[in-house]
Amino acid sequence: MSFLSAFNTSVSGMVAQRQRVNTISENIANAETTRTPQGGPYRRREVVLASVA
């Protein structure tokens, strides 16, 4: 594995973790929200990670 390949793998993992943390913090911030602007209930969001081969 070359240095650049290892670096790209690390960056990809950090980007995925950043998205996961952002989604968790959004869910926490909206924990007490009972209605969305469209009138429906707030539903938690989940990050789904998948490998790209």
How does pLDDT run across 21-42, given as a tens digit for each residue? 999 999 999 988 888 888 888 8
| Domain residue limits, the chain | 1-53
How does pLDDT run across 2-13, given as a tens digit for each residue? 888 889 989 999
CB contact at 8 A, 5 and 12: no
DSSP, res 41: P
Of the candidates 40, 42, 12, 17, the one whose C-alpha atom is nearest the C-alpha of residue 29 is: 42
Q: Report d(CA 8, CA 37) in Å as an integer.
A: 39
Q: Report d(CA 9, CA 47) in Å as an integer.
A: 19
Residue with tokens 């952002």: 22
